[in-house]
Structure formats: structure tokens, C-alpha cells
Amino acid sequence: MKIGMSLAYSGEGFRETVDQLVELEKAGLDAIAVREAYTFDAISQIGYIAARTERLELASGIIQIYTRTPSLTAMTAAGLDYVSNGRFTLGIGASGPQVIEGFHGIKYDAPLGRTREIIDICRQVWRREKVQYSGKYYEVPLAPEKGTGLGKPLKLINHPVRADIPILLAALGPKNVQLAAELVQVWEPLFFHPGKAEEIWGESLAAGKAKRAPELGPLGISTAVGLAIGPGAGEMLQYVKPTMALYIGGMGAKDKNFYNQLMQRYGYVDEAEEIQNLYLAGKKDEAAAAVPDELAHAVSLVGSEDEVRTQLKQFAEAGVTQLNIMPLNPEHEAVKSQLETLKSLI
């Protein structure tokens, strides 16, 4: 099992953070992902990290599918794979209508269909084929009657380091998860509950894997976990809850919140409603307090070394291949120590 981290999408102290990242690479960190919402882009930061590190696997975690053309997405991935010498994974996802329509002014529609077509086009680009694609959502080249008529099939000028750059798809809903299991190398769920994974996603994963091309290899699963190991670590579970409350309560509209729906599918129907009502009423602390201890613990690595060793076994048995740690004590030396302890337990 690999251990990764996710960098916050903020420019505050970014260079200092990367200095620390270089040390964490030496301490055994395997991967880093840079998030992108509606602040600085992830791509420029990943390029900077590529230049400062040697073996860390790098990922966009995630870039949304609506604002870059499929060919530009492929070019960007190939460029990052080049400057990192084959260490990049293209992490993509649909984001949500609040960001896509509210910040970018683009209609949020057909996330499944668009994702499938984008993946097809990216792989054409990386194979250096002349890109020719006629889909429901993307047409390359553009038909003559829709433009100047001067467009012609082109292929990528450069030779990519890899013609099969790995793709990671962030997905929670049944159809999205099925798509991930069919088409990409890595599936990324958030708030992954290993004890309920088969119940919630087993059918979708099986349906997708039934259509999966053998050359893709086994499906990897990458998920984020709060981390605190050692005596008294259980008391730090409270620091997991504000992030969970943010997503369950405030990430998306009241009737279109994927994380709230996931919590309900886990069986916490009343609790999900309470968290959302409190959060949307501005009572963020109360919303965090309403997150059940049982759920917060299940989606985290928090406890004594023996407890965390048991949790690691549960994640591994549920198919998780990479854990992206969110250290609950953010001090650099503490993060480094926790990372070393976690590596020893694995």
C-alpha cells in the first residue's frame, strides 16, 4: 500500500511546503496530489513540485472536466509526465454545478458521457494518433459547417514519455464508480468506509470490471484519511469532523450534495440531514459535533499503533492501494514522525 498526501489549493507558504515535501520524500512518502477548486491552478504547482522532487508520484487531485478541451487536458498531462520523467497521474472529476456554473459560467451536464469521451480522446493524443473523434459531446476536428472548415486531424508533435499515462477518476455515485472500474487505472472515493465498501459499491465495481480492458490492469483505489497515531490519538478524532461537516453539510446545494447522499447510503440518514441543516444555518461547530464518532473513525487512521494496524488491514482488504494522509497535527516534524510510524506499520 502506497502512502500519499494532498496539498491544499492555496498559495500561502507554498514554497515552504514544498521544501518540507522534499524531506517527506526522503522519509518515505510515495505520492503527492495537488487539489484544484477555484483558486490557483494545480498544473503550475505540480510542475514546480516535479522540479524539486525525484521519485514522488504526482497527481492532479483533481482537475475538473468542463473547462479544458479534451486535447488540452491530454497535452497538459503529457507535459507534466515529461517534466516529471513519467511520474504523473491525470486525476479528473466532474466537480459540481456550483463551481462549474457559478465560477466558470459553463453548463454542468452529462458528467458520465463527457468523462468517457475525454478519456478516449486523451488516449488518442498520447498514442500520437491523428485525433479524430465524433462523439455526442466532443467533435474533433470540428465539422466544416460548424467553423471555418479549415480544421484538420492533427497528432501531438512531441513523443510522450508514456503512451498510457495513468488516469484517476474521482467518483462516488453508482454510475460514476462503474465508469471508473471500466475505464481508468485508479478510482478515488472520498470518505471511504472499508466496512461498507462492498455493500455500497460492490455491484458498481463488478459491473465496471466486467467491461474493463485487460491492459488496464487491476483497479487501484486511492482515498484520503485523517492521520493520528499514538497514545491519546483518539482525542484528535474531533479534528476530522470539521472537514466531514463541510462536505456533508455544505459542499453543493441542499438537494444535490454527493457527500450527504453517501452518508445516507452508509445508513446515517437522520445524521446527514442534521449536519446539513446545521451547516447551512451557519452553525459549523455544531455540524461538526453532529458527525458520528463511529463514521469519523471508520474513514480515518486514528488511534494507537495496534488500532491503526487493524484499520490498515481493513482498508487493504477492501482493495485500497493508496492512502492519502491528512495529518491531524500539521507541524512538520510531527508529520514526518507520523509518516515514518505509518510506513513501519504497513
| % residues pLDDT > 70 (the chain) | 99
- Asked if the structure places residue 263 within a domain, the reply is no
Give pLDDT tens digits for 93-109: 999 888 999 999 999 99
Q: Quick check: is 281 in a domain?
A: no
pLDDT at 145 over 70: yes
Q: Is 180 a member of any domain?
A: yes
Q: Which grid cell sits at 48?
A: 514546480
Residue-wise pLDDT tens digits, 245-297: 999 999 877 888 999 999 999 999 999 999 999 999 999 999 999 999 999 99
Find the domain containing 58 and state its range. 2-227+303-345
Question: What would the pLDDT profile of 230-249 be if each residue is shown by its tens digit?
Answer: 998 989 999 999 999 999 99
> Is residue 271 domain-resident?
no
- Overall domain count for the chain: 1
Residue 21 lies in a domain: yes
Q: What is the pLDDT of residues 158-181, one digit of tens each?
A: 999 999 999 999 999 999 999 999
Cα distances from 241 to residues 81, 160, 247, 256, 307, in angstroms, run: 35, 42, 10, 21, 19
Within-domain flag for 162: yes
- The candidate with the shortest Cα–Cα distance to 247, out of 269, 215, 279, 271, is 279
Among the listed residues 187, 224, 189, 190, the one whose alpha carbon sits nearest the alpha carbon of residue 208: 187
Residue 245 domain-assigned? Answer: no
Residue 260 lies in a domain: no
How far is 334 from 346, CA to CA, in rounded Å? 18
**For position 127, which CATH number holds?**
3.20.20.30
